Every structure is written in C-alpha cells, then in structure tokens.
Structure 1
C-alpha cells in the first residue's frame, strides 16, 4: 500500500514539475524582447532637395486606427485580413515615427515644419494603410492629407497619396526596410505637394 502511495506521489510530483516547466517556458517566450526597427530614411530620396527656410507648418501626429496606430508591423493577407508580424515592432508607435519623417521631408522641401503648435498652416494626415501586402509582395502606404489654415480651420487643399514598393521579404528587417523606403518616398511627395500650395 505504501508502495502505491509512493508511486502516485512521485507521479503527481513529476506532473507538477512538467506543468511548472511549461509555464516557465511560456512565460519566457511571452517576455522575449521583440526585434525593434525604425523608419530609416532613404537619404538619396531627400538629398536632391535643398534645405531652405520657408512658411511655418504645424504637423500634428497622424491619425490611424489599430493595429496601424500601434508599434507593430502590419501585414495584409490575400483575403484582406490584417495581422501583425510576430516578434518585431517599431521603436515607437507608427504614427509618431511617420510624423517625424513628414517633418523631415517638409523641412527638406523648404518649409519650417514642426510638431510644436504654431505657424500659418496645419498639415493634417490620416494614415489609412501602412503595411506589407503579402499577396502582392508590396509595402503599401496610403495617406489622406489636408492642408488647413491654423486660424479659422478652413481647408486649403486635400489629397490622397498612395505609394508602393516591392517587398519580397515579409519578415523582420526586409519588411521594415521596404516600409521605410516607402515612407521616405511618400513623405517627400507630401512635402512637395504642401510646398506648392503655400
């Protein structure tokens, strides 16, 4: 009888140990740091534009909805469903990163752009897509832009910009690099468009 109790006890201890080990592994995996990327600017895109001082433009943080509004890299499947790449992230929320690239591009286009409130004009942006389209092997960014008077709030001009870049790699660094190049190009187009209307 004692032998049976001892065997049952050993079995319970072994099960408890196995469960504890699995829980520890799951916790370790859950807490593993994600690989982090920034929206690197393709300097060749912006280098051809001279830096000048010009009209002041306030650039607030772009609007976006989840998961695009987060710090995760978004992918879109062939059935139009969206998901995020596991194990990777942006260095901060995507709208904040893109805001910085917009400001940089506007400054390169000769505008005194800033994230500080002020200036005669406000560049309002709504990021509708900022993702890797897996079915088409493309990095896709779509941004709705509106140039507004800072005083009365009257819209001066509006435009929707779409930029696509080949993205054969759908994970980690290749995906981040493709989105970085796409962001640099669309930011430059928005900067040139804004400059032409001020």
Structure 2
C-alpha cells in the first residue's frame, strides 16, 4: 500500500497542502495506464501449411517414422522471419513473425504432410510409438534471399534404421520461390510456398525407401 506522510504545517497553507495530496496521487497512479495504452501492437503472426501428399504405394508402406524437431542455426530458432542480403548478412523482416518457433512449426507440418496421403506413418518422439526409422532434419536455410528477391528453403535429411542404428540414406532438398517485394506478408507467403515443395519432396523421398 502506498503511504504518504503529510507534514504538520499549521494555518491555511497546511490545509491547502493536505487537500492537494490526493490529486497528486491520482495523477501519479494514472500514468502507467496511459503509458501501456500507447505501446505498439504485436506483429502479425503467420502460419505454415502442410500440402496434400499424393497417396501411393511406397517401399516403406505401413512403417513408422519418428520425426524429431529439426536442428538449425541460431537466427532460425525463434519466431523471427530472416532475410539475407548480397553480403550474406542477416536481418529480420519487420512487421511479421511466425506463429511459433520455426523448428516446431516445421516438425508439425512435416508430420501432417505424411498424414495427408502418404502410406508411411509419422509421429513425434515421446508419442509412445515404437518407430522403425527416424528422420533427422536440419534447416539450412529458411529466409528471404534479398539479393535474388526469392524465398529460399533448404533442408538436409538423414534416414536412420532404429533397429540397426545405421544410416539408410541422406540427401538435401531445396526450393526457391520469387517474391515481388520485401513486405512481411509477401515474404511469409513465399516461404510457405517454398516449404510446401520441400515437404512434398521429403515425403516422396522417404516413401521411395531411398
């Protein structure tokens, strides 16, 4: 509780001082409310989508794939949307961000892409499912390439046999999509389209058993 000691000053001056204290307290307590009302609104958050995977028979049909959260470099670990310029320096797109941490969003949309038509089953570690294979991914690039005005996504893959612990195969997949400007919504939509192509490539590759 806020406590104010009023000096024992006699006469009309002391009386006027005591009457003025409540007005000062009201003004002081109202100031934080005014400041918080003037704070800037949060940047719009953009989600990523899982494309429909064509249903077809695969060499790993009915097998269980465990999909951990991908590894990546520091700037891609959070919700910020990254841009690279001609000198390969890193900046962030203002006025936009992802709806969640990028690695967690990527993991969720990759699993959903398997679910959207693939005969291979996918799950997260810790779901209580015994997996046949583990698909390790590393997000190498997920950014606006400002020097080429393109959304660029590149992911490396390793498919591991969980029974033997051996690496079955690995590869790198990437996509580039033109973006007409550097606005947050435009860049986010371009990266979403590039990711859709990468996710379909991953599911087809895993389904082919390669």
Provide the TM-score with structure 1 as the length reference.
Answer: 0.78
Task: Count residues in correspondence.
Answer: 171
SS class of match (1:85): strand
Aligned to 1:28: 39
1:23-172 map, 5 Å: 24=35, 28-29=39-40, 32-41=41-50, 43=51, 46=52, 49-50=54-55, 54-107=62-115, 108-117=117-126, 118-172=130-184
Which is richer in helix? Answer: 1
- For residues 43-89 of structure 1, the C-alpha deviation after alignment (integer angstroms, 9 at most, x for no partner) is 4xx26x12786211000001011111111111111111111112211
Distance 1:169 1:180 in 2: 15
Which of 199, 202, 205 lines up with 1:187 in the alignment?
199
Stretch moving more, 163-172 or 188-197: 163-172
- Name the larger-Rg structure: 2
Provide the TM-score with structure 2 as the length reference.
Answer: 0.74
Task: After the TM superposition, list the runs of 4 or more consecutive aligned residues in structure 1 that deviate by more than 6 angstroms.
Answer: none
Distance 2:149 2:164 in 1: 43
Distance 1:151 1:28 in 2: 55
SS class of match (1:105): helix
Distance 1:51 1:194 in 2: 12
Unaligned segments of structure 1, at least 5 residues:
1-19
Over the aligned positions, Cα root-mean-square deviation in angstroms equals: 2.3
Stretch moving more, 148-157 or 138-147: 148-157
SS class of match (1:33): coil
